[in-house]
Structure 1
């Protein structure tokens, strides 16, 4: 009896320390994220703006701010702009990332210097968005090197105004998003592929399956959780697109506001100190983001297989 009691006394539970170490995170989240989020919801129902040096409000107006967003503002147009530019950048991003991830994780290829190439493709993610925007603005300006090369090659007789064409401006923004994030997506997909049991690939090879059959029947179905994570995080980042189009178009969203994103429109309200409309727009963006994320998650998560 004494020996058992001694063992019980010597046993130390470390469970509480896990909760203690989580306290700083929850405190920071509660102070800097949760409280501002609740405040945004609250003030979205108030009229609160600057008129010259005078502060109007805060005055409770109910859903008037939301009604103005959908009637007076081009909210649907800005949502469409944001989603189009995200899709234009994400489709090539996921295609190239899947190809590179399958290439790097294929042990039969015995690639040399793979670590070097992984570092190189990830490096654009470390460059600031402002630097990327200024670089593309310089390259594709009317007197930039891209126009000079195209005219010297005889493709164009005069400079192409990339920034003045809707497709040109949107394609530049989508290209920058692709270059900045395909390396990060490749690393995530590689981690998912390396977590797949090698025995499955060996069994498929013994059965005579082709590389395409292995990729489509084994790799892709088992990558669904990672793909869901990649698509949802990319969608959230796409809906929050701001710095690239803001700098490239000088905050005007040209041509004809076809590159004006939701966050750029939100920034205009914050700049004009129309906090009521800014709060209402933030709530709408939150709802759009949540709804689209749920749709993507449902589409990529096969509940029947899970059962």
Structure 2
């Protein structure tokens, strides 16, 4: 009888668990799953507005995908997106690893850790639109940066940051780095604090150097969190929109070098081109899935080794 009662209690507790999961599944189905299938469905139709006239919806099969993949601009914008993401992610993960290692190392005994942790995380709380407007004001032709360079004699006339491809891309990379390195630091630091200190003590007894401890103990144990950070950063990087959109007023200048894939999608949606917008969304979904799978497989193979 006691076993039957305990089993019935377990079933009741499980039932409550499923009940509490219902809001999540309802929200996911309504706001994620249904729009996903709707986007895939609309990608097979010609459906856009030409002036006041509505064209479609007319079933065209995979024509939208053929036109999208045969267009050189989609590959150019994809390369733009990846360049700006990689350029911002490399310094982001480097600085985040250093800060996380310093903050989690008890032998350093750093003072004021709470203050510095708060300060490095604060840029993540600022809206990307506000960050973009700030940088636009700082690096404009009559902005403070040009005024300082002129007063120091480094330049004789204002440097037009937004008219050069490299300079404008560097600004986008810098903004992405400043906004996200604090969040990455917190995640990596949480993983480092979970590592058993006895491993470090054993390594010190064996005479291991600091670099050996970091690369032979810290990084292998930290690899799951590092993979999570890399994949989530990749997904966010491929969806880059707000910073280049506001910084260039949606034009992607100079010479479309700052135009990202999501900015192109926004143009389709603004012009009510639902069919090509759906095809581009599915294309981006597939690319994101493939790249994320590649990153995950590379890191899982290292775990097996």
Deviations 1:125-180 (A, max 9, x none): 00001100000000000000001111111111111110010011111011000000
For 1:34-73, what aligned pairs fall within 5 Å after superposition? 34-72=33-71
| Distance in 1 (alpha carbons) for counterparts of 2:222 and 2:5 | 47
- Is 1:187–2:202 an aligned residue pair? no
Q: Counterpart of 2:9 in 1: which secondary structure?
A: coil
Alignment partner, residue 155 of structure 1 = 154
Q: Which runs of 5+ in 1 are unaligned?
A: none
Q: Which runs of 5+ in 2 are unaligned?
A: none
Alignment partner, residue 130 of structure 2 = 131
**Equivalent pair of 1:245/1:260 in contact (CA under 8 Å):** yes
Task: State the 1:91 CA deviation.
Answer: 0.2
1:259/1:90 Cα in 2 relative to 1: closer, same or farther (>3 Å)? same
**Match for residue 9 of structure 1 among 5, 8, 23:** 5
Task: State the 1:72 CA deviation.
Answer: 3.5
| Distance in 1 (alpha carbons) for counterparts of 2:73 and 2:238 | 16
For 1:220-231, what aligned pairs fall within 5 Å after superposition? 220-231=219-230
**Equivalent pair of 1:228/1:301 in contact (CA under 8 Å):** no
| Distance in 2 (alpha carbons) for counterparts of 1:38 and 1:7 | 46
The size of the alignment, in residue pairs, is 302
For 1:1-307, what aligned pairs fall within 5 Å after superposition? 5=1, 8-9=4-5, 12-13=9-10, 14-72=13-71, 74-302=73-301, 305=304
Q: TM-score, normalised by structure 2?
A: 0.96
Deviates more, 1:47-56 or 1:97-106: 47-56
4+ residue runs over 6 A deviation: none
| Distance in 2 (alpha carbons) for counterparts of 1:149 and 1:109 | 37
Task: State the 1:222 CA deviation.
Answer: 0.9
**Equivalent pair of 1:227/1:300 in contact (CA under 8 Å):** no
Q: Counterpart of 2:253 in 1: which secondary structure?
A: coil
Q: Counterpart of 1:302 in 2: which secondary structure?
A: helix
Q: TM-score, normalised by structure 1?
A: 0.96
